[in-house]
Structure 1
């Protein structure tokens, strides 16, 4: 689908370059840029003798003032560009930032996560949760050293015949149609009826080809490596500009405790990754 509204989230300590890159991305595809500046409130005092202290209240007042200043600064940065935009700020209470972000993401086609947010673990987690779980919107991670681009030439589509992977493929149809080649990549695929079929990757390749996408199917053995490692190495081997993949095929709790492909890719992203679930 076309990306007509792109949301980017910033916070205290975020770089101006993230905003500039988001504006540049919107300029590439003629999209509207929506900016949400998030400040997370300190939790209230806890404990048997906890009281709402003057220091805590004063800190919240200072936080709100800083938030207003950050919103004004961000507006000044984006105003220098030629893109259509809107900007607002939210002072999120403890544990609610993901819901606040999700409410805003409902009205975006894509959520852009730049290097500054990726370097802020708490904000990164809130943006990912708000986008993928609260609003069910795709995210585009752009790690440091990369420029956001919705016109990649070589795309790696990580495929495992799950609903999440299919959703990611649908969200990325337009950009894959414009790519030179899309590598549908399967790791240790099993030819099972009702999942991969007799020829793993053939069904999704045919589906993509009907959309005018130039597809090649790569069936790769893990050879004792993790799925994430195989995908990362394959992306290097084919000089991929972007990875498209489903997110959290297993539960978030399981991935947090035991790890998983999504968690590894989120933590070790080297090139832009578009994720959906």
Structure 2
């Protein structure tokens, strides 16, 4: 699809680099940049009610002022960028964070998550899960937003015959059509992938003009994410496309998983679709 609105979610600190990188990306794509500055609301402490009220109110007032200041800073930075943009701030209760992010993402084509959220892991994870589970839009993660492109030359598409991977393939179709090459990767393919694993989806992509090669890889006991990362390096991929949370979030958190690994340490830009 054509990206005309890009949502960038940042925290209240260390946001300048992400803002400037996202602004440059939008300038190159002719896209509108929508910025959500997010802060998790301070919960009331346990103890004496009178003391709680005063301390809690003071803390929340301080948080709100920081949020307003960050919104002003973001507008000042983008004011000279020469792009179309909007900036809003949200002070979200923990249980409401995902919905607040998801509702903003409804009106964007993709949600960018960069480095500024790494200073607050709870916020970062809530933002990513909110965008994935509440918006039906893709999430683009990167360790450095300067490495992000919406016109990748080489794409690694991870395929495991799930609805999530099917959505990921469809969501990234335009990018894959314009890429020089796409590696459709199956790690330890099972029988449900068909008599010749990967051929059906490769044929589908080829009908859309995608220059696709099917790579069946054996894990040899290594984690799937490690196999994917190594193959991305071997094929000079500049984007990994993957379906997110094929298992429940609880199972991913307890036992780990490909989604968790990609979220925690993206070695290159990763487009995730739920």
Query: 1:37 matched to which residue of 2?
Result: 37
Query: 1:206 matched to which residue of 2?
Result: 203
Moved more, 33-42 or 115-124: 115-124
TM-score under structure 1 length normalisation: 0.95
The 2-side partners of 1:233 and 1:116 are apart by: 26
Query: 1:4 matched to which residue of 2?
Result: 4
| Contact 2:154–2:236 (Cα < 8 Å) also in 1 | yes
1:53 offset after TM fit, Å? Answer: 2.4
Q: 1:9 to 1:145 in 2, by over 3 A?
A: closer
The 2-side partners of 1:50 and 1:250 are apart by: 42
For structure 2, list consecutive stretches of 5 or more residues without a partner in the other structure: none
Matched, 1:271 2:264: no
TM-score under structure 2 length normalisation: 0.96
Q: 1:119 to 1:212 in 2, by over 3 A?
A: farther
| Contact 1:114–1:141 (Cα < 8 Å) also in 2 | yes
Which one has a larger percent helix, Structure 1 or Structure 2?
A: 2
1:173 offset after TM fit, Å? Answer: 0.7
The 2-side partners of 1:119 and 1:54 are apart by: 28
| Contact 1:181–1:213 (Cα < 8 Å) also in 2 | yes
Runs of 4+ in structure 1 over 4 Å off:
none
Q: How many residues matched?
A: 273
Residues 78-89 of structure 1 mapped to structure 2, 5 A cutoff: 78-89=78-89
Q: 1:32 to 1:129 in 2, by over 3 A?
A: same
Residues 202-241 of structure 1 mapped to structure 2, 5 A cutoff: 202-241=199-238
1:119 offset after TM fit, Å? Answer: 4.3
Query: 1:17 matched to which residue of 2?
Result: 17
1:93 offset after TM fit, Å? Answer: 2.0
The 2-side partners of 1:211 and 1:24 are apart by: 29
Query: 1:107 matched to which residue of 2?
Result: 107
For structure 1, list consecutive stretches of 5 or more residues without a partner in the other structure: none
